[in-house]
Amino acid sequence: MSDPTQRRSRILSGMRPTGKLHLGNLAGALSNWVKLQDHYESFHFVADWHMLTTDYADTSELQANIREMVTDWLAAGLDPEKATLFVQSGVVQHAELHLILSMITPLGWLERVPTYKEALENIRDRDIHTYGFLGYPVLQTADILVYKADGVPVGEDQVPHVELTREIARRFNSFYGRVFPEPQALLTPTPRLPGTDGRKMSKSYNNAIYLSDAPEVVNQKLATMVTDPARKRRYDPGNPDVCPVFDLHKVFSGPEVIDRVNRECRTAEIGCLDCKRLLADAVNRTLYPIRERRKLYEQEPQRVGEVLEQGTEKARQVAETTMGEVRKAVRLR
Ligand code: SF4
């Protein structure tokens, strides 16, 4: 049974291996993970089995993507001395618990998950009408419960998944006796970051600024970023409230620059090019230490593999302890 008085509260969160990470990933999750590692016993995993739920047909980039993503985790400041970083498929106990939980999860609970319905409507280029895709919230539940996590850092859209985890944990406990604590959603601010074309920043839209982009690349990408469409000439006043450049200022610039842009855009005192230069300075300042740490890991490429191996071993031990209790509770052995 989980006893938070005997250890720091434990959190768990994962990311699908999409390759190099961008500013949206940094602002949406990664910078938060870095802060949390000082306060929680943190477990972060590469969700490679989750990747298969939608991208099963082409896995040619999978291993390269894992390496790039974890290099970015480390570059952004996740410290393997503080946080356990591991690969989901390296801990087969996730799959075993997923199987057991899938036996007790009513179909209706899964069909009601809002992100499931949304994905069925929006994903057209892959066939996701599969058994595995319907069941991915059960896999998520197993990911969380196998570590008896107390908290799950999530954005607002993921809260229903944590609620489902709690329901499945309750159902399991009611059948077999209390094994699992009910984890809490640790609601974290996830600003919607626009990409250079004004749509949500995303690798698939080709509008992203990557953590590994060189300063000149950042400058060049931001120089071509869309602005308030009504501001056509330098002397036209603009409206920062509808400008994606200003959305990025709000995340990466200091309060003085934000105030200045907010004021001088409306009176046309500042031009868009100067405004974007100020933004590029702020973004490059944020990325500087990340690039420096990335260089260190690139010089010793085996270190990323070592970090994952050690983290996966540690995760496996914790997960196996839980599975011992689960098997006993279900009377499997
Ligand atoms: S000055 Fe800045 S905030 Fe205003 S429209 Fe131009 S880019 Fe956007």
For 165-215, the pLDDT digits (tens) are 999 999 999 999 999 999 999 998 878 899 999 999 999 899 999 999 999
Burial 191-208 (b: 16+ CB within 10 A, else e): eebbbbebeebebeeebb
Residue nearest to atom 1 of ligand 1 (CA): 272
Is-contact 144 12, C-beta < 8 A?
Answer: yes
Extract the tokens encoding 23.
Answer: 């500013």
Average pLDDT over residues 47-71: 96
pLDDT digits (tens, 9 = 90+) for 253-277: 999 999 999 999 999 999 999 999 9
Residue 217 pLDDT exceeds 70: yes
Per-residue pLDDT, 279: 98
pTM for the whole structure: 0.94
Extract the tokens encoding 169.
Answer: 């944990």
- How many Å lie between the centroid of ligand 1 and the Cα of residue 278? 11
Residue type, 124: R
Q: Please tell me the distance from the alpha carbon of residue 196 to that of residue 133, in angstroms, as a whole number.
A: 31
Average pLDDT over residues 50-75: 96
Per-residue pLDDT, 267: 97
Ligand 1 pocket by Cβ (under 6 Å): 227-228, 231, 238, 240, 243, 245-246, 261, 265, 270, 272, 275-276
Average pLDDT over residues 291-314: 96
Tell me the best of 224, 234, 245 to mutate to test the pocket of ligand 1, counting ligand atoms within 8 Å of each CB and taking the most: 245
Element (H, E) at 44: strand 41-46
pLDDT band at 3 (very low <50, low <70, confident <90, very high): low
pLDDT band at 4 (very low <50, low <70, confident <90, very high): very low
pLDDT digits (tens, 9 = 90+) for 14-36: 999 999 999 999 998 999 999 99
Q: What are phi and psi of 200, to 5 degrees?
A: -50, 135
Per-residue pLDDT, 30: 95
Per-residue pLDDT, 5: 52
Q: Which domains does the chain have, with CATH numbers?
A: 10-193+301-330 (3.40.50.620), 213-294 (1.10.240.10)
